[in-house]
Each structure stands twice: as structure tokens, then as C-alpha cells.
Amino acid sequence: MPLLRLPASRPGRLAVPSAPGTTRPGFDRRSFLGLSAAGAAALTLAACAGPSTASGTAPASAEALDYTGVKPASTISMWSSHPGGSQEVEQKIIDQFNASQSAITVSLVTAGANYEEVAQRFQTALAGGGLPGLVILSDVWWFRYFINDSIIPLDAVLDAVGMETDDFRPTFFADYQYDGAQWAIPYARSTPMFYYNKEHWATAGLPDRSPATWEEFGEWAPRLKAADTGVLNAFQYPAISGYAGWTFQNNAWGQGGSYSDGWDITIDEKPVVDALEWMRQGVNVEKWAGITSNDQATDIASGAVSATVSSTGSLVGILDTASFDVGVGFMPGGPTATEPVCPSGGAGLGIPQGITPEEQVAAATFLKFLTSPENAVAFSAATGYIPTRTSADVTGLVSAAPQIQTAIDQIEVVRTQDYARAFLPGGDKAVADGVGRVLTQDEDPQEVLTEVRGQLEDIYTTDVEPLLS
């Protein structure tokens, strides 16, 4: 199937999971969005602050940047949360870059344990200085940096260092485009996948494959529950705070719904309500499904559950830990659509607006090296994230772990994430909180999603639309 394209009336695209697998601290949306430059330093002592979207200048124009004659700075840093346990491979790539030339020295900085902590530290640096050359940006964070003019459009600086971008996977690369410019480069990219325990499948007499639809799995689940496997649950939903806003898009899309249509919020329409009601039934009525109290990748790898959905970034860890054959498959569809119903996720790398042109050129020079096809494969081999370059030789990866081929194949049916999650600051949390209320407190899906729609509309009209205008 050809890659999904946005309609012309919807500018730009965005996809990807707060990094799936990380835990997001709670935050107050009003203080988060109302943060001014003067108050930024004080708020860093609080939970997950993030950048302001309440004030600021218009985002920079790609045409306004000119790097003619600019020489790279001698030192820069890269801020990372080391997604997928990547600190060792990141340092190895940096060491190789530093040894390959003498003009630029790059240092690796652990700027936080997850994307949100990196965002908090970046916010502090925006107000007080000490910005990095490169900063890691998750799918639900880069757009607020765009509207607050905190990162530069990359087109001109990539041209200045001769970085070719034609072989980036189109769905990944286009995720960071808006208003006719490129705002980040794909780095730790993933999709959710369906993971299952092949031994449990065999015990229950199920075919050795993932379900084509969630309805099909609903027919399989009682057989898994009745089988003598000793599992906690036949299926384990991801932690509400880490995954729910990301993966629930899959359920909604399969029913023919969406969180939003462009900037129009549609999350409380019948298809989305039906998707959440189906999930509620499995958890609270039929009781074959549960919600992880820790990490669903750990639950499946330990054999405590028969199936789950988790990031491709969890693949290497699951395969290394599991003592059984792990099956993987595409994300299931629904009664209305079976493809494309899979969101992409993960993180990209951006360059701050508030550093010197010399530092920006140095950052772009290293970015070119870091995301080369060879290094994309090295990063994938260490983490399980999908190589971002189509020219990357994945033969060795697939030979070592054939399941990676499934992750790569699923890219062809990836769908762009809904604006309500990816573009609205705090949108992901609002959706996740709503899903959590239904699944953990057994509340009515229609009532909850109608409340969530109001929250999302308020975020847009108050905190996004004025800046876009």
C-alpha cells in the first residue's frame, strides 16, 4: 500500500510516541502553557514544565536563514534521554565522529530520564542560557517549540552542510514538517506492534499470527483466559500515563473515528466512543484484559500475560528477556478499517534557535553523521527502533531478529497522528486521562470523551490558535 499523504487542506504532518515506554510526570496545563520567560527558572523545580506557548514571536522563516561563509563552532553538546537504552551506542557514534575530524567536538549530555525531563531542562536553558547544539524532541513536544520560536527550520542549515535527506523514510521525515519547512530530523522512531506469547497461543489452539482485528482478538481472548497458562491477563493494556493517548488512536481509527479532523475535535463522536466501550468491556465486564502497573513490555517478556501492544523500541529488550518464542504482528484493525490504523512515534532531533549560527552549523554537521544509514542501523541494532533511512542495510538486523522485518513492513501502513494528540500542548495527557477514567474507574465513555473534547477545544482556542494566527 502506498504511504499515506495528508490532504492539501491540512498543512504539515506529525506522528509519534511520547516515547513509548517512558512515564510522564503530571503537570498543570495552565501553569505549563502560561509559563513566561521570567518565571521559567522557578517552575523548573516543579513537575514537567515544558516550553511556553502563551507568548513569543512568530516562528522563524526558513528563507530568512543564511549560512553562507559560516564556519562551524568547535564544541557543541547533544541532549538526549537515551531512548531505548541507547546511551552506549550514542556515545560510541559520538566518539567515532570526534575521531573522524578535528574541527568539531561533540559531548553527550544526559538531559533527563525521559522526553519530558529533557523538555523541562530545555525550557530552563531557553530562559537562562546553556542551550545544546542538538536536542531530542518527542512527537508531542516539537510543535510547541515551533509555535514558540524555540527551534530553527532546518532546510537552510542542512543545505549548508550538504546533508541529503531524500532517503529518509517519507512518513518519518514528513512528521516534522509544518508551514513549508522541516523542524526536526527523525531519530528514535517507532510504531506500536502486537506482541504475543507463542506458547500460550498454541496451548489455546490459536493460529500462529496476530489478530487481524480487535474483534477477532475478542473472540480469542476467552480461549486464552481458559487455557492453563497461569497468566495474569490474556491481554495487558499499556500504562495510561505512558501510552494510552498514542495507542488508542489505533482503536479509534479501526472503528472509523479519529481524535480530530485537522483542528476540528471529533473525539466524542460515535466511532471513538464505540472503540473505548469495547475496551471497557474487556477490562471491566469480560475481565480478560488488564492495565499494567509497571510496563507492559516487562509483563509480556516475563510470561505474566499472553499479549500486549508495545513500541518497536521495546523489541530488543523483550526478545533478550523472554524465555519463549515471541510473536509480533501489525496492529489490529477494526470493523471499519484494517489499514492504515497504526500510528508512528518516537523522537526527532532539533536545533535551538537561540544558539549562534556557528553552533547551528556544527550541530547540523554532526546530525548528518549521526543519522547516516550506517549509524541508523547501529542505533536500531542496539535499541529496536526502526532505521530511519530507506537505504540502510537491514540484512544483519533481520538475520539477528526476524521480528524486526515486521516492524519495517508495518511502516507502509502507518497513519499520521491526529492533531489533537500531536499538535495540542497537553492533548496527549487529556486523552490518556480520559481513557484511564473509563478503563480504571469504569466511567461512561460518551460522557468522558465529551469532557475531553471540551478540554482539547479549550487548549486549541486559548493556547494554539492565537499563535498560529
Q: Which domains does the chain have, with CATH numbers?
A: 29-190+346-393 (3.40.190.10), 192-343+419-468 (3.40.190.10)
Classify residue 202 by burial, with Cβ atoms within 10 Å: 0-12, 13-18, 19+: middle
Q: Which of 404, 365, 413, 337 is nearest to 169 (CA)?
A: 413
pLDDT computed for residue 74 by the predictor: 98
C-beta neighbour count of 227 within 10 angstroms: 18
pLDDT computed for residue 288 by the predictor: 97
pLDDT computed for residue 61 by the predictor: 54
Dig out the grid coordinates for 377 from the structure: 542501523
pLDDT computed for residue 57 by the predictor: 45
User: In 385-444, which ranges are continuous DSSP H helix?
Assistant: 395-400, 403-410, 419-422, 427-441
- Identify whether the C-beta of residue 329 lies closer than 8 Å to the C-beta of residue 210: yes
Residue type, 179: D
Q: How far apart are CA 192 and CA 55, in angstroms?
A: 35
C-beta neighbour count of 209 within 10 angstroms: 12
Classify residue 34 by burial, with Cβ atoms within 10 Å: 0-12, 13-18, 19+: middle
- Identify whether the C-beta of residue 169 lies closer than 8 Å to the C-beta of residue 411: yes
**What are the Cα distances from residue 333, in Å, to 311, 329, 337, 341?**
17, 12, 6, 6
Q: Which of 336, 339, 324 is nearest to 1 (CA)?
A: 339
Which residues of the chain, if any, have pLDDT below 70?
1-64
Q: How far apart are CA 211 and CA 207, in angstroms?
A: 9
pTM for this model (two decimals): 0.82
**SS percent in the chain: helix, strand, coil, step 5:** 45, 15, 40
